[in-house]
Structure 1
Amino acid sequence: MDKDKLFKTVEKYLKQFGVENPDEIVEQLASEWDCSKSFDENKERIRRILWEKYRIPAVLL
């Protein structure tokens, strides 16, 4: 999985869970991407944000 596919999957999850403005949320998450960290570290961070902010279990990411 690459970064683009990850964010498309996140957007799909947001829509499935009925979150308003999924495009804006994906843009916000993308802006928080830390290039100094590995893909896996960033992916884990996104999982944590999705759970803590939106209660979306993103275990399939």
Structure 2
Amino acid sequence: MDTLEEQIAHLTRALDDLSDVVTRQEREIALLTRRVQLLLEREAERESDLGGGITLGDERPPHW
């Protein structure tokens, strides 16, 4: 009986630890998702400010 109680205590501790990890990861994912969304919005705004033109790799910059 003592062995079972000890195993249950270890499993309970492991479950609590895993729950903490999942909670932390959920917060991090939400933060990163928000940051990516802000970057996408910023990039879309930048493209619209530039007229939405496609810049080619071999195209000379406008100051040349």
TM over 0.5: no
Q: Which of the pair is proportionally richer in helix?
A: 2
Using CA pairs under 8 Å that are at least 6 residues apart, name the structure with larger relative contact order, 1 or 2. Answer: 1
TM-score by length of 1: 0.31
